[in-house]
Amino acid sequence: MREDLAELQRKAEAELNSAGSEEELLAIRTKYLGRKGLLTLLFRKIGNAAPDERPLLGRLSNEIKEALSVKIENALEKLAPQGKYGALLQEKIDVTLPGRGVRHGRIHPISQVSQEICEVFLRLGFSVAKGPEVELDYYNFEALNIPKDHPARDMQDTFYVEDNIVLRTHTSPVQIRIMEKQRPPVRIVSPGKVYRHDSDVSHTPMFHQIEGLWVDKGITFSDLKGVLTYFLQQVFGEDTVLRFRPSFFPFTEPSAEIDIQCIICGGTGCRVCGQSGWLEILGAGMVDPEVFKTVGYDPEEISGFAFGLGVERIAMLKYSISDIRLFYENDRRFLEQF
Ligand code: DAH
């Protein structure tokens, strides 16, 4: 056995000495030292040798293995930088180089404000409802008491997908979808994207609204005032001064628009409030009996209020942003401030 080992070493060394390429060296390594290599096979046979010979044979084969490995390694290194293996050996990684860092995404300011608004209503027992952005004319207009020839359709520059299908122009259709499915009481807010053919410093063709609806027995206009006052003071501060102004929406009667005293000038008049001292924030009103009839609610039995607001407008006021388009340019320098 000792002879066999010596013989093997001699042969391997002879082959190594005449090897001239990386491939040859690697082949020799496999031939002798590989998992099924000649030395490995001999090594396994040590178990058959006489017990007192085994330790010596073990040591000898390990020494041969070590010697051959080193020789092969050195030879490979000498062939660098020609070969692939040599190139790998020469490649060094500088572990002291500063890392590239992971860039974190963050929640878009519009999503942040939308979530913040919804949270105020969740605290008041509202839940969040969603509806489709591609909407039937029926839900977007008809069921909200806006028939085909109604002038209120002109207030909203509608994108039509087909004759009876639109990109929803407001989140109000979610009211109808929820009331169709659910008996009172209903207490929901519905955030989402809406679409209008409009574009300037304060309008984008796609923007966000939040719709709210509270329907139950005995809901009155003072509930509307109480809830919306609480909401606006949560978002703009406890000292926010409000104004409820009569208005018109086809789906509410009576209707109101709610203004806050201009948070930029404090009411003295500036460019943002158009010198009026007031900022229009919300549309609201008591749900029109016609809408209740459409969804099969009895207007003699229940009542409710609804409201709708634009998220971009609130975000612009909250953060003093003067151009709505900044939200959608995806300039990281802008987005990273929130
Ligand atoms: N849908 C209206 C709009 O987009 C906003 C609105 C006003 C919603 C009054 C309401 C409401 O629910 O009661 O201009």
If you write DSSP's letter for every residue of 27-89 in order, what string do you get?
A: HHHHHHHSTT-HHHHHHHHGGGS-TTTHHHHHHHHHHHHHHHHHHHHHHHHHHTTTSHHHHHH
Q: How far is the CA of 139 from the centre of ligand 1 (A)?
A: 14
Q: How far is the CA of 283 from the centre of ligand 1 (A)?
A: 5
Cα 305 to chain centroid, rounded: 32
Mean pLDDT, residues 85-97 taken together: 78
pLDDT at 103 over 90: no
pTM of this structure: 0.72
Min mean pLDDT across 20-29, 113-122, 136-145, 177-186 is at: 20-29
Helix (H, G, I), strand (E, B) or coil at 154: helix
CA–centroid distance, 172 to ligand 1, in Å, is 6
Coil/strand/helix, residue 258: strand
Nearest CA, atom 12, ligand 1:
307
d(CA 328, ligand 1 centre) in Å: 24
Q: Write out pLDDT tens, residues 198-224.
A: 888 888 999 999 999 999 999 999 999
Residues having CB within 6 Å of any atom of ligand 1: 170, 172, 211, 249, 252, 283-285, 306-308
Average pLDDT over residues 42-51: 83
38 or 214: whose pLDDT is higher? 214
Alpha-carbon torsion 182, 184, 188, 190, what sign? positive
Q: What pLDDT is stored for residue 69 in this prediction?
A: 85
Average pLDDT, the chain: 90
Confidence band (pLDDT; 50, 70, 90) for 50? confident
Distance separating alpha carbons of residues 288 and 172, to the nearest angstrom: 13
Contact in structure between 305 and 284 (CB atoms under 8 Å): yes
Q: Residue 86: what pLDDT?
A: 65
Ligand 1 pocket test target in 249, 252, 292 with most atoms within 8 Å of CB: 249
Assign 44 a pLDDT band (cuts: 50, 70, 90).
Answer: confident
Q: Whose CA is nearest to atom 6 of ligand 1?
A: 308
Rounded average pLDDT over 123-128: 97
Q: What is the pLDDT of residue 4?
A: 82
Nearest atom (ligand 1) to Cα of 285: 13
Cα dist from 241 to 97, 214, 224, 272, 317, whole Å: 56, 24, 16, 17, 15
Nearest CA to ligand 1 atom 3: 170
- Which protein residue has the closest C-alpha to ligand 1 atom 5? 308
Q: Please name which of 168, 190, 165 lies closest in space to residue 178, comparing C-alpha atoms.
A: 190
Q: For 32-50, what is the mean pLDDT?
A: 84
pLDDT tens for each residue of 235-247: 999 999 999 999 9
170 three-state secondary structure: coil
Backbone angles phi, psi at 188, to 5 degrees: -130, 155
In the sheet with 206-216, reading across from the earlier edge strand, the strands are 127-128, 186-195, 206-216, 303-310, 278-287, 252-261, 242-249
pLDDT tens profile 251-305: 999 999 999 999 888 899 988 888 999 999 999 999 999 999 999 999 999 999 9
Query: What is the pLDDT at residue 309?
Result: 97
Confidence of residue 22 (pLDDT cuts 50, 70, 90): confident
Interatomic CA distance for residues 176 and 182, integer angstroms: 10
Q: How much is the pLDDT for 81?
A: 61
